[in-house]
């Protein structure tokens, strides 16, 4: 973030003829209630002037040209398509949210920061402890989620959880990898990994849960109706506020870190019917899942 702050200071101090037309260019992938929640939180946390461009409203949008001509202080990219369009910008700071690809090394660049879609591993470990799940199966693609599971190793060890990890390089491999976990795990952990979990393979996780009588812990409320026992969901308005705080720090020229942050606030939701069928008391989930920052 030190680099990002320097960009803004350079614009305002050394190029006085370049006035900022507005503070924030908001690039939004499409019209989506979830994105609107994030933007509402962003606006609540940070008073600013803005222009909003929704990519789905146009056949083509040249974000680089808009930034070059209109000189916003920073770009807020909401969604994967928005990030793909915005990352062509190299001098103006970019904050990315609601994007799975923001943690992908291939999109890393000095002017990019943001908040990822993966939740702190410690939050999941708190759930697995309550479930008394010592062996937790997880299907993942190394390029998409390898970095995250490397970060999860220490929290898992501290929680007494053994992560039984199986790699997949194609969604077609998911079914066989799940079959290989039969009798080996006490719970399944679904990650927001677009290779390991797809629309076509998601049902297999819940079939496994029923056949093996083990709970699935996932990342989105939509999976509760399919058979997840519990999910951790990002609080989207709070995510927007977190991004707003980050934007304010950048525009003030405050130093910090270039790393992609974890969401600060998440909520746990459960499927009472699934818990009952598995003989698990819903009362065990009266726990905090928002670990304090160091």
Query: Quick one: pLDDT at residue 13?
Result: 37
> What are the residue ranges of CATH 3.40.50.2300 in the chain?
2-117+236-265, 121-218
Query: Quick one: pLDDT at residue 220?
Result: 94
- 214: nearest Cα among 135, 286, 121: 135
CATH number of 2-117+236-265: 3.40.50.2300
The structural architecture, per CATH, of the domain 121-218 is 3-Layer(aba) Sandwich (3.40)
Query: Quick one: pLDDT at residue 152?
Result: 98
Query: Quick one: pLDDT at residue 10?
Result: 45
Over its length of 294 residues, how does the chain's per-residue pLDDT go in tens digits? 555 544 444 444 334 434 558 999 999 999 999 999 999 999 999 999 999 999 999 999 999 999 999 999 999 999 999 999 999 999 899 999 999 999 887 778 889 999 999 999 999 999 999 999 999 999 999 999 999 999 999 999 999 999 999 999 999 999 999 999 999 999 999 999 999 999 999 999 999 999 999 999 999 999 999 999 999 999 999 999 999 999 998 888 774 446 789 999 999 999 999 999 999 987 777 654 555 454
- 37: nearest Cα among 219, 243, 238: 238
CB atoms within 10 A of CB 165: 18
Rounded-to-10 torsion of CA 92, 97, 99, 105: 50
Residue 226, φ and ψ in degrees, nearest 5: -90, -15
Tokens of 163: 């992560």
């Amino acid at each position: 973030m030190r680099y990002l702050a320097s960009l803004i200071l350079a614009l305002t101090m050394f190029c006085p003829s370049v006035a900022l037309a507005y503070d924030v260019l908001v690039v939004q992938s499409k019209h989506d209630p979830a994105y609107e929640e994030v933007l509402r939180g962003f606006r609540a946390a940070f008073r600013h002037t803005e222009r909003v461009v929704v990519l789905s409203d146009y056949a083509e949008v040249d974000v680089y040209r808009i930034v070059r001509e209109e000189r916003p202080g920073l770009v807020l990219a909401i969604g994967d398509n928005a990030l793909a369009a915005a990352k062509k910008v190299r001098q103006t700071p970019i904050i990315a949210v609601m994007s799975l690809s923001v943690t992908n090394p291939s999109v890393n660049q000095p002017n990019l920061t943001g908040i990822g879609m993966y939740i702190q591993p410690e939050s999941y470990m708190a759930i697995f402890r309550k479930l008394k799940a010592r062996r937790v199966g997880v299907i993942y693609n190394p390029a998409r989620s390898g970095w995250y599971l490397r970060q999860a190793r220490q929290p898992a060890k501290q929680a007494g959880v053994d992560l039984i990890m199986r790699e997949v390089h194609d969604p077609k491999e998911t079914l066989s990898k799940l079959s290989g976990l039969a009798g080996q795990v006490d719970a399944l952990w679904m990650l927001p990994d677009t290779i390991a979990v797809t629309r076509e393979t998601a049902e297999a996780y819940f079939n496994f849960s029923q056949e093996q009588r083990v709970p699935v812990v996932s990342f989105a409320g939509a999976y509760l109706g399919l058979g997840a026992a519990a999910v951790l969901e990002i609080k989207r308005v709070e995510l927007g506020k977190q991004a707003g705080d980050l934007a304010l720090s950048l525009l003030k020229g405050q130093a910090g870190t270039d790393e992609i942050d974890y969401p600060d606030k998440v909520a746990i939701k459960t499927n009472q019917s699934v818990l009952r069928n598995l003989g698990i008391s819903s009362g065990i989930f009266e726990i905090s899942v928002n670990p304090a920052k160091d």
